Amino acid sequence: MLTPKKHKKLHKKSNKKSAKKKTGHNQWEDHLSRRARSEGYPARSIYKLEEIQNKYKVLKKNDLVIDLGCSPGSWSLYASKLVGEKGRVYGIDLKTIDIKLPSNVIAIQDNILNMTNKPFLSDAKGLNVVLSDMAPATTGRKDVDALRSFELCNMAFGVANDLLVKNGNFICKIFQGNDFNAFQKNVKSKFKMCKVFKPESCRKQSKEIYIIAIGKK
Ligand SMILES: C[S@@+](CC[C@H](N)C(=O)[O-])C[C@H]1O[C@@H](n2cnc3c(N)ncnc32)[C@H](O)[C@@H]1O
């Protein structure tokens, strides 16, 4: 028999479920996750990079690419297909990648804010593309999360600035916050074109957005 407390709890749960059903968000997200798995990708994030690629053509055959925040591996896998066997993808993440990676992907576990394997970065000289899908562990406090995301973005921008070849491209996820405009202005000054793009496959409620910087000066 249900106690009044349990009954209230159950009622709350079913209300939540029907609210999600009404918005359709969960069904769309489930659909993307299922589709990613069926196409051999570990995460639905693949579709964000696919949308970016379809619109801006950031990756091409034989490119040398750095993928910052590469775990669980969807972007690296997708990029490896586009750059082909003569291209190369260098991935870095705090976490390991559990999927089997193609031979043109080299991934290491490290913290971009405090790299222990610094030579790994300088090995990737002549870089054509820097991708950063890094996201901090969220705290629920929007200002703190945005500040931590900004810190990661600055680090990624530093890598792009130091290692990209002329005309190289930089893609960077950022949580919109107080520092967003300053960051975008900074990136804009170093690239021929700089756009802000929110892929359809991003969670609608999420504050994440992508800076697309094309053609390093
Ligand atoms: C949204 S996930 C990236 C998903 C990835 N693009 C994919 O398609 O599989 C964000 C990643 O950023 C990584 N990350 C966060 N802070 C980092 C740091 N300081 N150094 C390296 N990676 C970091 C997290 O561990 C997490 O795996």
Greater model confidence, 22 or 39: 39
Both tokens of residue 197?
A: 């793009």
- Does the annotation mark 188 as catalytic? no
pLDDT in tens, 173-211: 999 999 999 999 999 999 999 999 999 999 888 889 999
pLDDT of residue 11: 42
pLDDT of residue 15: 45
In this structure, is residue 124 part of a structural domain? Answer: yes
Both tokens of residue 47?
A: 């579709």
pLDDT in tens, 116-167: 888 888 777 889 999 999 999 999 999 999 999 999 999 999 999 999 999 9
Average pLDDT, the chain: 89
In this structure, is residue 111 part of a structural domain? Answer: yes
pLDDT in tens, 42-58: 999 999 999 999 999 99
Which of 75, 82, 94, 154 maximizes ligand 1 atoms within 8 Å of its Cβ, making it the mutation to test the pocket?
94
Both tokens of residue 22?
A: 């009404």
Count how many domains the chain has.
1
In this structure, is residue 12 part of a structural domain? Answer: no
**Would you place residue 22 in the very low, low, confident or very high pLDDT band (cuts 50, 70, 90)?**
very low
- Whether the pLDDT of residue 19 is over 60: the answer is no
In this structure, is residue 176 part of a structural domain? Answer: yes
pLDDT in tens, 71-127: 999 999 999 999 999 999 999 999 999 999 999 999 999 999 999 888 888 777 889
Ligand 1 neighbourhood includes 113 CB (under 6 angstroms)? yes
- Whether the pLDDT of residue 3 is over 60: the answer is no
In this structure, is residue 73 part of a structural domain? Answer: yes
pLDDT of residue 25: 58
Q: Residue 57: what residue type?
A: K
* CATH code assigned at 92: 3.40.50.150
Please give the residue range of the domain that contains residue 146.
31-216
In this structure, is residue 17 part of a structural domain? Answer: no
In this structure, is residue 19 part of a structural domain? Answer: no
Ligand 1 neighbourhood includes 43 CB (under 6 angstroms)? yes
Give me ligand 1 centre to Cα 99, in Å: 15
In this structure, is residue 47 part of a structural domain? Answer: yes
DSSP-derived secondary structure for the chain: ---HHHHHHHHHHHHHHHHHHHH-HHHHHHHHHHHHHHTT-SSTTHHHHHHHHHHH----TT-EEEEES-TT-HHHHHHHHHH-TTSEEEEEESS---SPPPTTEEEEE--GGG-S-HHHHHHS-SEEEEEE---PPP-S-HHHHHHHHHHHHHHHHHHHHHHEEEEEEEEEEEE-STTHHHHHHHHHTTEEEEEEE--TTS-TT--EEEEEEEEE-
Ligand 1 neighbourhood includes 93 CB (under 6 angstroms)? yes
Give the C-alpha distances (Å, rounded to integers) separating 91 from 14, 28, 94: 42, 28, 10
Cα distance between residue 70 and residue 96, in whole Å: 9
